[in-house]
């Protein structure tokens, strides 16, 4: 496998307008909007505690390079897909909430399949699936957890975009990030919460932040 370039795909797109235009033409509408947000949100210094794809504990768990970043995303998608499966099976959702849980669950499982294939294509081994630990005793708890997971997922992708070397992997990450963000917006509306709580530009989360926020949802 060829050695990855030193600069990230996002840095190349930021510095090369012609490359950025070609990349935008290949993206769908939602992902193209996500790219604009990513260029703004990731334009500064990389935050500490964000070591997927480099050195550190996160890489020891998920692997290095783009394969490690994709495995990190896959771990989160496993958790989301299992949440929706369990939420639907709980019998505590009705009407629109149940319909959304079913639809979002299918989409999260699609993400799982895509990311598993991507990890393998990059020469890696898919991450171990976490054992979920969700409280699903009421519709309000389920909806709140839905929103938390989708918000964490969107911010987690945003937090890693400037570390991705491959434009193909970057395109997939932007596409999934845009779906996670739309899921969160729909659920926020149902809960009467702000659609964009961070304002004009979404706030990325480091891998350390993400690990801390999902810990209550993982058994063991």
Report pLDDT for 194.
82
Identify the DSSP state of 51.
Answer: -
Torsional sign, CA 126, 130, 135, 137? positive
CATH number, domain with residue 126: 1.20.1260.10
Look up the pTM and report it: 0.79
* Number of folded domains that form the chain: 1
184, pLDDT greater than 90 = yes
- Structural domain of residue 59, as residue ranges? 9-217
Give the tens place of pLDDT for each residue, 4-47: 445 676 666 565 565 545 544 554 544 444 444 444 455 544 54
Question: Residue 2 domain-assigned?
Answer: no
Burial 143-164 (b: 16+ CB within 10 A, else e): bebbbbbbbbbbbbbbbbbbbb
Question: Residue 1 domain-assigned?
Answer: no
209, pLDDT greater than 80 = yes
Q: What residues contact residue 180 under an 8 Å CB cut-off, 6+ apart?
A: 150, 153, 154, 157
Give the tens place of pLDDT for each residue, 141-176: 999 999 999 999 999 999 998 899 988 898 889 889
């Amino acid at each position: 496998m060829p050695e990855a370039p030193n600069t990230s795909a996002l840095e190349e797109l930021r510095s090369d307008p012609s490359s950025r235009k070609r990349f935008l033409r290949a993206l769908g509408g939602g992902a193209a909007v996500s790219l604009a947000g990513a260029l703004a949100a990731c334009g500064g210094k990389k935050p500490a505690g964000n070591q997927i794809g480099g050195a550190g504990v996160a890489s020891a768990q998920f692997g290095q390079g783009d394969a490690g970043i994709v495995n990190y995303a896959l771990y989160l998608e496993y958790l989301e897909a299992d949440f929706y499966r369990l939420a639907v099976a709980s019998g505590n959702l009705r009407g629109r909430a149940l319909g959304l849980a079913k639809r979002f669950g299918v989409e999260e499982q699609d993400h799982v399949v895509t990311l598993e294939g991507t990890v393998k294509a990059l020469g890696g081994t898919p991450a171990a699936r976490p054992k979920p630990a969700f409280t699903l005793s009421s519709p309000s708890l389920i909806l709140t957890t839905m929103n938390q997971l989708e918000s964490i997922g969107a911010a987690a992708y945003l937090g890693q975009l400037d570390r991705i070397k491959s434009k193909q992997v970057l395109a997939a990450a932007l596409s999934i990030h845009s779906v996670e963000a739309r899921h969160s917006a729909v659920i926020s509306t149902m809960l009467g919460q702000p659609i964009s709580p961070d304002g004009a530009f979404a706030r990325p989360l480091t891998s350390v932040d993400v690990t801390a926020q999902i810990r209550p949802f993982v058994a063991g």
